[in-house]
Structure 1
Amino acid sequence: MGRQLVPLTLDNLSDLPSRCRDCVFWELDPVSGESAVRSGQSVLEKEAWISVVLLEWGTCGRVVYVDRRPVGYVLYAPPAYVPRSRAFPTSPVSADAVQLMTGWVSPGCRSRGLGRTLVQAVAKDVLGRGFRAIEAFGAEGGTDQLGGEQRGCVLPTGYLLAAGFEVVRPHPAFPRLRLELKSTVSWRADVELALDRLLGGTRPITALRPF
């Protein structure tokens, strides 16, 4: 089984699931997001967001392929590029952190380590850009869509805890969690080995949804 992990760009955006490639839950504030959906402009808004982030900041996602078939992805960016995060009761995301926005792995490919591979790729990228941590909003409940039209875009708290995150601001519905990279990963040449030790000792995170 051949695996390939590549950056998310406009060229491979179409490889994401249909409900993800035109979703602007994180990319726009609530009012603008609802307007884009009503007017049928969500696809264009998604493309515009990726273009801006790629131009101003750089890579903001990863796509994983198995035998050339897209089976998962992850999306992340500094909080300044994630307007929806400001609407959460546990905001703001810390200025020294990159926000892990959302992610997904095909149901038939879960429990194969692909979710962990994607998170490790984010961690290594964040380390290379000088950020201190990764933060994310968790959704209590852990179901696929979490009882709402778009709440499936929010990663389950259980997944984040299993990946090594810790709650830094509790909330009954949407706690904010943080993965401290500088305090957890020793700054030596073998960063990949350190990250394997950090994430490899947890239960398989690909068994959790939406990963």
Structure 2
Amino acid sequence: MLRIRKVDDANFKDIPSPCNHCLYWQSSEEVDEKMLKREMEQEKREWLTTVIREFGNCGFIAYVNRVPIGFIQYAPKTFFPRIKEYASGPPSEDAVFLACLYIAAEEARGKGLGSAMLENLLVELRKREVKAVETFARKNSENNPSGPLELYL
């Protein structure tokens, strides 16, 4: 059974790896390779706390039979400095940026879980009267943290 829960301090520990320590979008520089995963997790937790305080919910964890298998992360572009490095330009002012929609368990991919997570996100953002959602997806990578391009078509 699929359950999708908002990320909070109590369930932060359930965010699947590598999402629980990924700081790609939150940073405009390369993450120090010497930084320990637990330090990266702490930085991620602090980032999530800040975004929740300033924007509201910014992530969901997907569980199948109580096992965390996926993560989705989003917020206004101001919370993601890395966006500035992309040639396609930043998301529009009224958009929320979908930084990550990732099914960590490879055996769970291609079964509609990403689509369910995306639909859950869209329902949430409609309630919050968000006008648009934008992301960067790749044509040739199913392992892309934003999910495959086909997910959005």
For the criterion TM > 0.5, the same-fold answer is yes
Post-superposition, which runs of at least 4 consecutive aligned residues in structure 1 deviate over 4 A?
A: none
After TM superposition, give the deviation of residue 79 of structure 1 in Å. Answer: 0.6
Aligned length: 150
After TM superposition, give the deviation of residue 70 of structure 1 in Å. Answer: 0.9
| CA gap 1:75/1:98 in 2 versus in 1, 3 angstroms | same
CA distance in 1, matches of 2:65, 2:147: 26
After TM superposition, give the deviation of residue 39 of structure 1 in Å. Answer: 3.5
TM-score, normalised to structure 2's length?
0.87
Amino acid at match of 1:109: A
Q: 1:49-64 to 2 correspondence within 5 Å?
A: 49-64=47-62
Structure with greater helix share of residues: 1
CA distance in 1, matches of 2:20, 2:136: 20
Equivalent position of 1:153 in the other structure:
145
Q: Deviations 1:128-186 (Å, cap 9, x if unpaired)?
A: 11211110012242252xxxxxxx43544x23xx423xxxxxxxxxxxxxxxxxxxxxx
After TM superposition, give the deviation of residue 123 of structure 1 in Å. Answer: 0.7
Q: Does 1:39 align with 2:39?
A: no
Structure exhibiting the larger radius of gyration computed from Cα positions? 1
Q: Which structure 1 residue ranges, 5 or more long, are not aligned?
A: 145-151, 165-211
Amino acid at match of 2:134: E
Q: Does 1:163 align with 2:152?
A: yes
Q: Which structure 2 residue ranges, 5 or more long, are not aligned?
A: none
CA distance in 2, matches of 1:109, 1:39: 30
TM-score, normalised to structure 1's length?
0.65
CA RMSD of aligned residues (A): 1.8
The answer to whether the 8 Å contact 1:137/1:155 transfers is: no
CA distance in 1, matches of 2:79, 2:100: 14
Equivalent position of 1:17 in the other structure:
16
Higher relative contact order (CA 8 A, sep 6+): 2
Equivalent position of 1:195 in the other structure:
none
> SS where residue 22 of structure 1 aligns?
coil
Q: Identity rate of aligned residues, in percent?
A: 27
